[in-house]
Chains A and B, each alone.
Chain A
Amino acid sequence: MQQQRVQSEAIETTYREAVREAIRDAIKRDERVFLMGEDVGRYGGCYAVSKGLLAELGPERIRDTPLSESGFTGAGIGAAMAGMRPIVELMTVNFSLLALDQIVNTAATVRHMSGNQFGVPLVIRMATGAGRQLAAQHSHSLEGWYAHIPGIKVLAPATLEDARGMLWSALQDPDPVLIFENVMLYNMIGTLAADAGPVDIDKAAIRRPGRDISLITYGGSLWKTLDAANALAAEGIEAEVIDLRSLRPLDDATIMTSVNKTRRAVIVDEGWRSGSLAAEVAMRIVEQAFWSLDAPIGRVCSEEVPVPYPSHLENAAIPQVPKILAAAKAAFGAP
């Protein structure tokens, strides 16, 4: 699905508003769509994404749920199997662990277990990532875990266009789609076409073309990676920045085309290093583009500690521009 861009006026907006507009648009366009989750109604969402939607769209379509992730995620699965197109909001990926059985053991497997009699056209949105001083229990980046599971799709919108456009495409998918919204992006301001609409959800995007090294990332790390790429350009290194967008399935073709060109790759992933999505991407590069490589593949991941509360330690624990720069330069032989 291609985004339509016909001489449209650009409006200034935020990532949060783009997500809200995507929900409003989906609910208005399709009577089967509704949003449910903790505090999405009267409170307006823990990150204020759904603020005002209850008043506008009513309690049938914007539903507050009890504090029971397993329960309402299961209800969403049932509704989807019965023909609805639910959007389940889990406050954060941390709380999604309470619904892990529903997501991994039910949503992802029903089509298989029912012999294709039932599908689960469910969208689950959740916030992810560190940086807001929410401490070790509320700062996870576990999207890489979900990307391990066959039967679901995993999206990571990093731009206003994707925040606005991925939801509708996800709702059209016959199987469960998880959308991870990085908490640091909600306040991001930018411009978006007034008529911005659905975007494809199966391709990675080149956010910055370059010839010397491929910096592969997604979600909240995209903007740090772009900053790093600009700093590298000042030193004569033209980095190509790839936004994965879809973490499952991965768009191998875009990754390999880039690495075959640049011969170097660094993966920036806010997940912990061991068993990370970064490890999966690196291994695919080794499998498919080994003979194009000019340097060991680099990774910038989170330090393998519970994410600290103090701001300076929290910042030190997750990928930052200086670490990305160092990893990129290491691929050129810098100590």
Chain B
Amino acid sequence: MPSLGPDMEAGTLVEWLVKPGDWVKRGDVVAVVETQKGAIEIEIFQAGQVEQILVNLHSKVPVGTPLARIRAEGGGALGTPAAAPSIPLSVPPLVAPPSLPLVAPRAASGVRASPAARRLAEERGIHLSTVTGSGPAGAIIYADVERVGETGAPSEKKRALWLDLAAMRTAIATAMARSKREIPHYYLQHQVDVTACEQWLSQKNATLPPDRRLLIAALAIKAVALATRRFPAFNGFYRDNKYEPAPTVHVGVAIAIRGGGLAAPALHDADQLSVDDLMSRMRDLVQRTRSGRIRSSEISDPTITVSNLGERGVETLYGIIYPPQVAIVGFGKTMVRPWVIDGAIGPRPVVDITLSGDHRVSDGHAGALFLAEIGKLLQEPEKL
């Protein structure tokens, strides 16, 4: 059971996507685990053949518990536990894996659904909150679930109920309280004229179909990712009283979830992606996060976080660092302000960019240079 966050103690195995005898390669999604953050897809870090499943469905086991046994490619030794990159804890299992798991589908609280609908949804991995009911008293019935299966992915607009918002709130509370308790934050703010970005985007989007159009958020994330290359003190982890810069840039993207949830899964290697790719990956990430399907590496990997309040937000936000990261960059909404250009005042689109930095790792001076670098990168969007 991988650790999917600093405060995760245990997870519930809700779906196996492999069975003994299957061949797997690094990066394959092999299982789905339910945590306080929702259902997370677990990737495997070891190529080989699945030898034995060690944890049954619906068992809750502590972080570090081997989930399956993989025989390494080429007939190597047994004993590599799957998907357990973190240090295993020597905690006894909370629940002994049952020899015969009950076949009863788990009830999603608050959803009125028939037994037949529940069973089908369980079989097909469809969450009932994504289904509209047409049965007695609006209950979800078998045919409703069947229809979802036919039309493909459930609507993004509906919040997936397997995102247990109460549990997510508890996890946020724990992480944020720890952050404010342990991390000496400093805050910097920088106003950036984004005329160049807006022009470039409108030009580019004119030729793109609506579902591929770019948002300024994609430019912002790319600019932050590139800036960390020159300023590695903002991209990494502070653990055991020392800072470890990260060799790669995985930008955590803060994603609000309807009803009051928040997650910041990683856009992997954001500095390497083209803006187009970054945008499509971001769309995918937002959609999967809101439907409750985040991959394990996306939860545990972010090396820095970007929070963008977008058009519906306010001008300025001051973020709280997500430990063990050491920085969070905030983007307010674009405001048209009076701006001095070549000695004259004119209207310009301006964004407030903020940095919350970990003073144990960096100082305000470095932070200012980092913010300025982001602002500079945004002046030449075509080079991002």
A263-B142, A295-B141 are known contacts. Are A290 and B136 too (CB-CB below 8 A)? no
B3-11, B113-121, B177-185, B228-236 - the one binding chain A: B113-121
B136 A263 Cβ-Cβ under 8 A? no
Closest Cβ–Cβ distance, residue A161 to chain B (whole Å): 34
A333 B134 Cβ-Cβ under 8 A? yes
Point out the residues of chain B lying under 8 angstroms from A333, CB to CB. 134-139
Which of B116, B134, B135, B137 interacts with A291 by CB under 8 Å? B116
A293 B136 Cβ-Cβ under 8 A? no
B116 A294 Cβ-Cβ under 8 A? yes
Does A216 belong to the interface (CB within 8 Å)?
no
A292 B134 Cβ-Cβ under 8 A? no
Point out the residues of chain A lying under 8 angstroms from B134, CB to CB. 333
B137 A294 Cβ-Cβ under 8 A? no
Point out the residues of chain B lying under 8 angstroms from A295, CB to CB. 114, 135-136, 139, 141
Closest Cβ–Cβ distance, residue A290 to chain B (whole Å): 5
Q: State the CA gap A263–B136 with chains docked (Å).
A: 13
Count chain B residues whose beta carbon lies closer than 8 angstroms to a beta carbon of A: 18
Question: Across the two chains, which residue of chain A brings its CB closest to B120?
Answer: A291
- C-beta contact mask, A304-335 vs B, less than 8 Å → 1, else 0? 00000000000000000000000000111100
Q: State the CA gap A295–B141 with chains docked (Å).
A: 8
Q: State the CA gap A293–B115 with chains docked (Å).
A: 5
B136 A292 Cβ-Cβ under 8 A? no
Q: State the CA gap A330–B137 with chains docked (Å).
A: 10
Point out the residues of chain A lying under 8 angstroms from B119, CB to CB. 291-292
Point out the residues of chain B lying under 8 angstroms from A292, CB to CB. 115-116, 119
Point out the residues of chain A lying under 8 angstroms from B138, CB to CB. 333
A263-B142, A294-B141, A295-B141 are known contacts. Are A332 and B136 too (CB-CB below 8 A)? yes
Question: Across the two chains, which residue of chain B brings its CB closest to A293?
Answer: B115
User: How many pairs, one residue from A and one from B, have CB atoms within 8 Å of each other in the complex?
Assistant: 42
Q: State the CA gap A303–B118 with chains docked (Å).
A: 34
Interface of chain B: mostly helix, strand, loop or mixed: helix
- C-beta contact mask, B116-156 vs A, less than 8 Å → 1, else 0? 11110000000000000011111101110000000000000
Does A52 belong to the interface (CB within 8 Å)?
no
Point out the residues of chain B lying under 8 angstroms from A293, CB to CB. 114-116
A330 B136 Cβ-Cβ under 8 A? yes
Q: State the CA gap A290–B118 with chains docked (Å).
A: 11
Does A59 belong to the interface (CB within 8 Å)?
no
B137 A290 Cβ-Cβ under 8 A? no
Closest Cβ–Cβ distance, residue B314 to chain A (whole Å): 45
Q: State the CA gap A293–B118 with chains docked (Å).
A: 10
Closest Cβ–Cβ distance, residue B143 to chain A (whole Å): 8
Point out the residues of chain B lying under 8 angstroms from A290, CB to CB. 115
Q: State the CA gap A331–B115 with chains docked (Å).
A: 14
Closest Cβ–Cβ distance, residue A313 to chain B (whole Å): 30
Q: State the CA gap A294–B141 with chains docked (Å).
A: 5
Closest Cβ–Cβ distance, residue B122 to chain A (whole Å): 9
B118 A291 Cβ-Cβ under 8 A? yes
B136 A291 Cβ-Cβ under 8 A? no
Q: State the CA gap A333–B103 with chains docked (Å).
A: 28
Point out the residues of chain A lying under 8 angstroms from B135, CB to CB. 294-295, 332-333
- C-beta contact mask, A283-309 vs B, less than 8 Å → 1, else 0? 000000011111110000000000000
- C-beta contact mask, A260-299 vs B, less than 8 Å → 1, else 0? 0001000000000000000000000000001111111000
Point out the residues of chain B lying under 8 angstroms from A330, CB to CB. 136
- C-beta contact mask, A70-86 vs B, less than 8 Å → 1, else 0? 00000000000000000
Point out the residues of chain B lying under 8 angstroms from A296, CB to CB. 136
Question: Across the two chains, which residue of chain B brings its CB closest to A329?
Answer: B136
Closest Cβ–Cβ distance, residue A282 to chain B (whole Å): 14
- C-beta contact mask, A227-249 vs B, less than 8 Å → 1, else 0? 00000000000000000000000
Task: Specify which of A290, A291, A294, A295 lies most central, judged by the most chain B CB atoms within 10 Å of its CB.
Answer: A294
Closest Cβ–Cβ distance, residue B197 to chain A (whole Å): 52
Point out the residues of chain B lying under 8 angstroms from A332, CB to CB. 135-136
A263 B137 Cβ-Cβ under 8 A? no
Q: State the CA gap A292–B103 with chains docked (Å).
A: 13
Q: Which of A150-173 contact B (CB under 8 A)?
A: none
Q: State the CA gap A156–B134 with chains docked (Å).
A: 37
B142 A294 Cβ-Cβ under 8 A? yes
Point out the residues of chain A lying under 8 angstroms from B117, CB to CB. 294
Point out the residues of chain A lying under 8 angstroms from B136, CB to CB. 295-296, 330-333
Closest Cβ–Cβ distance, residue B136 to chain A (whole Å): 4
Point out the residues of chain A lying under 8 angstroms from B114, CB to CB. 263, 293-295
Q: State the CA gap A295–B140 with chains docked (Å).
A: 10
Question: Across the two chains, which residue of chain A brings its CB closest to B141?
Answer: A294
Q: State the CA gap A64–B219 with chains docked (Å).
A: 102
Question: Across the two chains, which residue of chain A brings its CB closest to B118?
Answer: A291
Point out the residues of chain B lying under 8 angstroms from A263, CB to CB. 114, 116, 141-142
Closest Cβ–Cβ distance, residue A55 to chain B (whole Å): 59
Q: State the CA gap A32–B231 with chains docked (Å).
A: 106
Q: State the CA gap A333–B138 with chains docked (Å).
A: 7
Closest Cβ–Cβ distance, residue A211 to chain B (whole Å): 11
Point out the residues of chain A lying under 8 angstroms from B137, CB to CB. 333
Point out the residues of chain A lying under 8 angstroms from B142, CB to CB. 263, 294
Q: State the CA gap A332–B134 with chains docked (Å).
A: 8
Question: Across the two chains, which residue of chain B brings its CB closest to A263?
Answer: B116
List B residues at the A interface (Cβ < 8 Å): 103-105, 114-119, 134-139, 141-143
List A residues at the B interface (Cβ < 8 Å): 263, 290-296, 330-333
Listed A/B pairs (5) with beta-carbon separation below 8 Å: A263-B141, A294-B115, A294-B135, A295-B114, A295-B136
A-B contact sample (4 more), CB < 8 A, given A294-B115, A295-B141: A263-B116, A263-B141, A333-B135, A333-B138
The 10 tightest CB contacts between A and B, nearest first, are A294-B141, A294-B114, A333-B136, A291-B119, A294-B116, A293-B115, A291-B115, A263-B116, A294-B142, A292-B116
